[in-house]
Amino acid sequence: MDAVKAFLRHPSGMAGFVLLIIVLIVAITAPVLFPVSPWEMSGTPFTPPGEDGMWLGGDTLGRDVAAGVAHGARVSLLIGIASALAAMTIGVMIGAISGYFGGKVDLVLMRVTELFQTVPAFILAILLVATFSPSLLTIILTIGAVSWPPLARLTRAEFLRLRGREFVEAALCQGESTARIVLGHILPNAISPILVVVSLTVATAILLESALSFMGLGDPNLMSWGFMIGAGRTVIRQAWWMSVFPGLAILVTVLAINLFGEGLSDVLNPRVSRRRA
Amino acid sequence: MTNPSVQDKASVLSVEKLSIALPEGGDRPFAVEDVSFAIGRNEVVCLVGESGSGKSMIAHAILSLLPKGVDIVSGAVKVVGQDTAALDRRALRRLRGGKAAMIFQEPLSSLNPLKRVGEQIEETILTHQQPVPPAAAIKARVQELLTQVGLPNPSLLANSYPFELSGGQRQRVMIAIATANQPELLIADEPTTALDVTTQRQILRLIDDLRRERGMGVLLITHDFGVVADVADRVVVLRHGKVVEHGSVEQVLRNPRDPYTRELIDAVPKAHVKSRESASHATPLLDVVELRKTFRVKRGWLQPPREVVAADGISLTLHQGETLAVVGESGSGKSTLGRMIMRLTEPDSGAIRLGDQDLRLLRGEALRQARRGLQIIFQDPFSSLDPRQKVGDAVARGPMAYGTARDEAMAQARQLLARVGLTPSAADRYPHEFSGGQRQRICIARALALRPKVLIADEAVSALDVSVQAQVLALLAELRREMQLAMIFITHDLRIAAEIADRVIVLQHGRIVEEGPTAAVFTNPREAYTRDLLDAIPGRRFFDQPNFARQREALA
């Protein structure tokens, strides 16, 4: 409860939160605001913004850019959040096992993590998506699979720190099971920094998805921001609006999530919030 | 309260009607209220009080080191006639480390870990002496200072890093830094709290020697009346930021006028051995045989690992209803011993027999079942409770892990919390709502929830104020009688060992140097090491001998 109150008083965090809510509302109300499919060629190609009933103009085939941005928000947020959750599941599991048990298990798991960290994430993502034909599910899983190592490292560090704490040892002496110690004592005390990193992972996941769509590796049935920029890029000198508006959408969303994440980090970090108090 | 020396022109420090306000929303409006005292040359004044009494605030105000939002609202602090609050930054810098110097509680965190000790002393001289003396003179001065504070081999030591020194050596280096510029006032904020008794005595003696040599005024902040009895000329007792008593050491300690002072003095464990009926020696409950443990610390690729022997063949027995104190200095292996018995640290060899089982051979579920009979209370009540778990859950979780139904376990938890002196409604609150002493009571309730046969208390009262310490010890003694508990009480404080234990084991470097009934060990120690430990108990002679008057010019 205190954390919520402190967050309400955090200016940049709240700004991020408000922006995020706006993006979310646009995403949810997209079918109402733009009932016509974003793939529909509803106007003349190359319509500048504001003309022909299209606020943000039309693209090379006369599709409404505004409709594309609104519907793209659904895809970006869905993929961003789902793949961050996938990354969290993999990362927290590996980090927790590694940090709690230590020894040989830790050694092996951390080498695997390093393997993933040394291969550039984007190249690996391209490779994976290209191998398993692009669809919503494969894109989510791919982004999850390339974004978990920082989470695993963080979780491991938190577990190492907490495992030696006296309240964990006291729980051990009280005969509590390993599962209860991990889920009931260590994880709740490690969750704050993990949540912050997960929120930032959402932002990078959105960027990754945009980059994949830009390369033409997005789900062909989904209108996404990256796809729109990719499609408009060849005519950017004649028709800037085709790539600038989806680009701005990405900028605003990622910025909002980063501000929100940093606000969360300040509020949940006891040292910082105590200084503030 | 008469206070004649405030007007004394020769005083190196005078605190006059000092009030310091706390930021709004604090537990009281003033950290310090209307405090006056003075320190003359060659005089030691002790500022005594429990945690939160505002004693460190005063020390920080003297050097104008108060945190933001905490301000002096009235009164003044004058060091050698200068009002520190009125000084500009430059003059303050000249004062700090020049005319007035300070020593802190934790020497490791007050030394820069990346700089050699010698450089850190040089720095103080360089900052303050104008014109800057030639390099050779500074080097010579550093050697001289290190020799003065009693450090062996000063030239080697000057080239060491803080982590290479022991706690006592680090505090000596801090004293060397503090006295480098011949200060007239030395402020020591709990300088020996983090140190062993023997080291404590040496450091106090060093401060006293330097004081006498140079005629410094010393402000010693402490919570330990034993220390007060050993070194102070005058005493100022603080409570909730106000002076409750002020006078000479004899007057305050022998005839305290204020009930609070009396209470504090009575709470000091006096190392008076209480006679107890010895338990009938049937078969021992716990039998520890030849435990050995060596820690290996990796140093580098080519260097051999450093070996630290924490247990070198320790054997002990414990009977039902008996309390065994394990005493020793830090690094003697006493905590490791407790942790090995709990199987939190794996011994290299030996046996831990509880009943008819050897705990060392147990694994998994069998170990979990056997642990039920053994419980531990840790030193730091702030890190031994899960901050996100309600107190009731913390106590009930143990029995639930062994199959007690939740409702029944919670009902028991409430009873236990009431038994250790908390309200049953404490069960629904989180640990951060409780004070240190209350938290330690919660830890005791948690340990007892499983009805253990053996309770290990690892420095269980060391982090508490004396008055709280006395209450918790009394509670433990009661519970021990009630539940016929066998207790292993690990402590560095021999006074506490004397109060609570039936038998004592003295550990040094992982080996038992002396063992026996408490009365025998305390009144007639066989080993020189035990005698050293006993002699180092602060204030022992003062409290033991009602007519003992400390010589003004010679300490112990």
pLDDT at B30: 87
Q: Which of A11-20, B228-237, B266-275, B503-512 has the lowest mean pLDDT?
A: B266-275
Q: What is the mean pLDDT of residues B408-424?
A: 90
Helices A103-118 and A65-101, interaxial angle, to 10°? 150
| CA gap B319, B317 in Å, rounded | 7
* pLDDT tops 80 at residue B274: no
| CA gap B50, B465 in Å, rounded | 6
* pLDDT per residue as tens digits for the range B159-208: 888 888 888 888 889 999 998 888 999 999 888 877 788 888 888 888 88
C-beta atoms of B402 and A170 within 8 A: no
pLDDT at B543: 74
- Average pLDDT over chain B reads 85
Least CB–CB distance from A175: residue in B371, B380, B383 = B371
Q: What is the mean pLDDT of residues B376-396?
A: 89
Q: What is the mean pLDDT of residues A227-255?
A: 89
* pLDDT tops 90 at residue B367: no
- Residue with the two structure tokens 């967050």: A7
C-beta atoms of A169 and B450 within 8 A: no
| CA gap B455, B191 in Å, rounded | 32
Among candidate residues A53, A80, A1, A48, the one with its CA nearest the CA of residue A256: A80
Q: How confident is the model at residue B388 (pLDDT cuts 50, 70, 90)?
A: confident
Rounded to two decimals, the ipTM of the complex is: 0.75
Q: What is the mean pLDDT of residues B286-304?
A: 82
Decide if B398 touches A, using CB distance below 8 A. yes
* pLDDT tops 60 at residue B507: yes
Q: What is the mean pLDDT of residues B315-332?
A: 88
* Most confident region among A89-93, A221-225, A234-238 by mean pLDDT: A89-93
CB B253 within 8 A of CB B228: yes
pLDDT at A277: 37
- Residue with the two structure tokens 């200072």: B145
C-beta atoms of B388 and A173 within 8 A: no
Residue B307 distance to chain A (closest CA, Å):
20
Q: What is the mean pLDDT of residues A197-218?
A: 89
What pairing do the DSSP bridges indicate for beta strands B100-103 and B511-517? unpaired
- Residue with the two structure tokens 């300088």: B191
pLDDT at B324: 93
* pLDDT tops 50 at residue A274: no
* pLDDT per residue as tens digits for the range A127-172: 999 898 889 999 999 999 999 999 999 999 999 999 888 899 999 8
Q: Across chain A, which distance is largest between two alpha carbons, in Å?
A: 74
Q: What is the mean pLDDT of residues A200-221?
A: 89
* pLDDT tops 50 at residue A214: yes
- Residue B222's DSSP bridge partners are B48
Residue B272 has what DSSP assignment?
P
Instruction: Count CB atoms within 10 A of the CB of residue B298.
Output: 9
The DSSP secondary structure of B123-159, one letter per residue, reads HHHHHH-SSPPPHHHHHHHHHHHHHHTT-SSHHHHHT
Q: What is the mean pLDDT of residues B284-301?
A: 84
Percent of chain A with pLDDT over 90: 44
Q: Which pair of structure tokens corresponds to residue B414?
A: 């409430």
3-state SS class at B486: strand
C-beta atoms of A175 and B369 within 8 A: yes
Q: How confident is the model at residue A205 (pLDDT cuts 50, 70, 90)?
A: very high
Residue A2 distance to chain B (closest CA, Å):
14
Q: How confident is the model at residue B276 (pLDDT cuts 50, 70, 90)?
A: low
Residue numbers in B near A166 (CB within 8 A): 378, 380, 383-384
C-beta atoms of A174 and B398 within 8 A: yes
| CA gap B297, A97 in Å, rounded | 25
What pairing do the DSSP bridges indicate for beta strands B100-103 and B185-189? parallel
The DSSP secondary structure of B222-251, one letter per residue, reads ES-HHHHHHH-SEEEEEETTEEEEEEEHHH
C-beta atoms of A173 and B376 within 8 A: yes
Q: What is the mean pLDDT of residues B292-316?
A: 82
pLDDT at B284: 84
Residue numbers in A near B374 (CB within 8 A): 173
| CA gap A45, A106 in Å, rounded | 57
| CA gap B158, B164 in Å, rounded | 11
pTM score of the predicted model: 0.79
Q: Which pair of structure tokens corresponds to residue B272?
A: 């008076």
CB < 8 Å from A in window 412-471 of B = 443, 446, 449-450
Q: What is the mean pLDDT of residues B498-517?
A: 90
| CA gap B210, A148 in Å, rounded | 60
Q: Which pair of structure tokens corresponds to residue B438?
A: 């209350």
Sequence-distant (≥ 6) Cβ neighbours of residue B403 within 8 angstroms: none
| CA gap A249, A22 in Å, rounded | 11
Least CB–CB distance from A169: residue in B344, B397, B402 = B344
| CA gap A227, A207 in Å, rounded | 12
C-beta atoms of B374 and A189 within 8 A: no
pLDDT at A59: 84
* pLDDT per residue as tens digits for the range A189-199: 888 889 889 98
Sequence-distant (≥ 6) Cβ neighbours of residue B369 within 8 angstroms: A175
Decide if B376 touches A, using CB distance below 8 A. yes
Residue numbers in A near B384 (CB within 8 A): 166-167, 170
**Strand order from edge to edge, sheet including B511-517:** B374-377, B454-458, B486-491, B323-327, B503-508, B511-517
* Most confident region among A80-84, A174-178, A211-215, B385-389 by mean pLDDT: A80-84
Decide if A255 touches B, using CB distance below 8 A. no
Decide if B384 touches A, using CB distance below 8 A. yes
Instruction: Count CB atoms within 10 A of the CB of residue B292.
Output: 16
Q: How confident is the model at residue A106 (pLDDT cuts 50, 70, 90)?
A: very high
* pLDDT per residue as tens digits for the range A22-33: 999 999 998 888
pLDDT at B524: 87
- Residue with the two structure tokens 């009873």: B415
Q: What is the mean pLDDT of residues B103-125?
A: 87
C-beta atoms of B389 and A184 within 8 A: yes
Q: Kindly list the distances between the CA atom of residue B480 and the CA atoms of B275, B371, B454, B484, in Å, as whole numbers in the listed order.
A: 16, 19, 10, 5
Q: How confident is the model at residue B281 (pLDDT cuts 50, 70, 90)?
A: low
| CA gap B357, B361 in Å, rounded | 8
Residue B432 has what DSSP assignment?
G
Ranges of H-type helices in chain A: 2-8, 11-33, 65-101, 103-118, 121-131, 136-147, 149-163, 166-173, 178-180, 187-214, 225-232, 241-268, 270-276
* pLDDT per residue as tens digits for the range A31-45: 888 888 888 888 888
Task: Give chain B's length.
Answer: 556
Q: Which pair of structure tokens corresponds to residue A172?
A: 């051990």
Decide if A161 touches B, using CB distance below 8 A. no
CB B22 within 8 A of CB B29: yes
C-beta atoms of A171 and B344 within 8 A: no
